[in-house]
Amino acid sequence: MSSLDFSSRKGKPIVVVGSLNMDLVMRTPRVPAGGETLHGHEFSTLPGGKGANQAVACARLGARVSMIGQVGNDGFGTTLREGLIADGIDVTGVRQTTEVGTGVAMILVEDIGQNRIVLAAGANGALTPQAIDSHAGMIEGAALLVLQLEVPMPVVEHAIGMAHAAGVPVLLNPGPAAPLPENLWTKIDFLVPNESEASLLSGIEVVDVPSAFAAARVLRQRGVKYVLITLGENGVVVVSDAGENHLPANVVKAVDTTAAGDTFIGGLSAGLIEGMGLLDAVALGQRASAVCVTRRGAQPSIPYRRELKPAV
């Protein structure tokens, strides 16, 4: 199975439009019941946000990256921008606003490795389509536009429309799960939901590989070229005109699944713009994600390309 032809976009950056959050992480033996107080193991403040995580993953896994987003004019915002810069990411498009604080994610991580996240959008929720217009040249000159749904839907629609008009391939990770406007489907080249996101979008409950294939077929019928549904320990299903494939997950002992999906998207995106076939790019994302879940935190857990085991 071949991917889109990225040869004409060689040397251009991946542009990520999305969220930047400061993650406030508490490790806990289990999730407390209503009204219950538990002693946690440890607390940490770590850079995160699906957009920033995916930008960092793309960069660490070999791509040139620019990001468009918004943080507050506060300590968290400054720290987040500086972190992106340290990974070689162009932050020209990341504005610091005085109108609202930086987005925050409260994350509980259980001992079994599962996480539960509550977001306060902050500056992410105040991002506007006009901010996208300010960086039109960045999007129109991208190798690939990568987006998620932690910024307002009008921003997502506007950026996708701009990229589509310029012939720039679009990858959308539709998380957190939300319905998509009907006019977006045919403008999305790569749709990469997890089980819950695919369930909401397709109307089919995704609980295993066969139901994932069924959901992917529904989503393909709406005009998306490539649908990739991530299934955690059950791997990834890929559906396109070229056929249907299931790639099993790498077997590892997970300690924290935070940013696993974002890391997968980073590897997938980096592989695509290098000219890998789609399945090889998926496998790169899986190898990176397998390393990510053996570490704690969001961005601190994202591996560099040199840390990955060679492809089998």
Q: How far is CA 221 from the centre of its chain?
A: 23
| SS3 (DSSP) at 200 | helix
Q: Is 236 exposed, middle or buried (0-12, 13-18, 19+ CB in 10 A)?
A: buried
* Chain centroid, CA 189 distance in Å: 15
Other residues' Cβ atoms within 10 Å of the Cβ of residue 97: 18
**CA 116 from centroid of its chain's CA atoms:** 17
Active site residues: 262
State how far Cα 188 lies from the chain centre. Answer: 15
Report yes or no: 249 and 270 within 8 Å, Cβ to Cβ. Answer: no
Q: Are 174 and 185 in contact (CB under 8 A)?
A: no
Give 47-69 as a DSSP string.
EE-HHHHHHHHHHHTT--EEEEE
- Vertex 39, ends 34 and 45: CA angle to 5°? 100
Q: How far is CA 282 from CA 99, 236, 293, in A?
A: 40, 8, 17
Q: Are 57 and 299 in contact (CB under 8 A)?
A: no
Longest CA pairwise span in the chain (Å): 57
